[in-house]
Amino acid sequence: MENRPREAKKKNKGRVSKPSRDGSSGANAQRDESGCQDLDVMKVALKEFKERFPSGFQHLEAWEVVRKHEKWAQVPLMGEEGEGSAHKRKPFDVDFSIPDMNEDPSPQRPQRRDKRQATSSEGSSAELAAQFKVYTAMKEAKQAVELEAIELRKKRESEARELISVQIETMKNYNYDRDMKTFLKPHDDVPPSMLPIILARKREIANKYGWPCDF
């Protein structure tokens, strides 16, 4: 009878606990869920910004630069910090000793910031500022090229309209001179069979320009 509980303990000891249905026991599941939540939050934020500002959020490229920076990549995902801290907790001893009231408490000197940490922080800030500077320069250059292209297109359209106007005016002058010559050309020597056609053409020209016609 004494051996049965021991054997049951051994069997239970070898079993592996299954993850829960909601996936809360798996770190990978939490990461996937957190990634989906971040994507949903980003979509909702862009939608609300679009509703308040019709032009929309114009700095997605800058956001991508900041989001992928090592300064923000070290932030733990939601739920990971709580799980890790549970394993990292260590027992501590509580000192219940009564302090000596006659003792002169001297203020503790503030801990100096590690030079390596300060240098690393300054380097990260400088690198981030440099990336923003490059992004701003690229955006300004792109805007300058777009403005130059717009001005060039406007200039070409203006020149095309001017050329068309000149061509139309030239054609009008040519037709006017041709009609004038036809109208003023004598028709006394025209054969009788062609005279009605010539006179009809001259009357048409006179009506077109408002000239007097007595034939």
**Mean pLDDT for the chain overall:** 74
Q: What pLDDT shows up at residue 46?
A: 85
Please give the pLDDT value at position 195: 93
Q: Are residues 69 and 47 in the same domain?
A: no
pLDDT value at residue 12: 47
> 79: phi > 0 → left, psi -120 to 50 → alpha, else beta; which?
left
Does residue 131 fall inside a structural domain? yes
Top-ranked range on mean pLDDT: pick from 36-40, 61-65, 92-96: 61-65
Same domain, 38 and 130: no
pLDDT digits (tens, 9 = 90+) for 103-129: 555 556 556 655 566 566 677 888 899
Look at residue 69 in the predicted model and tell me its pLDDT.
Answer: 67
> Which pLDDT score, from 0 to 100, does residue 75 have?
56
Are residues 54 and 38 both part of a single domain? Answer: yes
Domain span holding position 68: 63-73+126-170
Following DSSP, what letter does each residue of 15-42 receive, concatenated? --PPPPTTSTT-HHHHHHHHHHHHHHHH
Q: Is the residue at 164 inside a domain? A: yes
Assess if residue 115 is contained within a domain: no
Same domain? For 67 and 155 the reply is: yes
pLDDT at 204 over 80: yes
Amino acid at 130: A
Same domain, 132 and 163: yes
CA–CA separation, 87 and 94 (whole Å) = 20
| Domain presence at residue 161 | yes
Q: What is the pLDDT of residues 52-61, one digit of tens each?
A: 888 888 877 7
Confidence band of 18 (pLDDT split at 50, 70, 90): very low
Cβ density class 55-72: b for 16+ within 10 Å, e for less: eeeeeeeeeeeeeeeeee
Q: Same domain, yes or no, for 134 and 158?
A: yes
Do residues 67 and 153 both lie within one domain? yes
102 pLDDT above the threshold of 90 = no
Residues 133 and 40 both lie in one domain: no
| Domains identified in the chain, total number | 2
- Tell me, yes or no, whether 39 lies in a domain: yes
- 37-46, 87-96, 136-145: segment of lowest average pLDDT: 87-96
In a domain? residue 189: no
Give CA–CA dist 120/116, Å, rounded.
6
Q: Check whether 1 has a pLDDT greater than 50.
A: no
Closest to 182 in 3D by CA, of 174, 171, 192 = 174
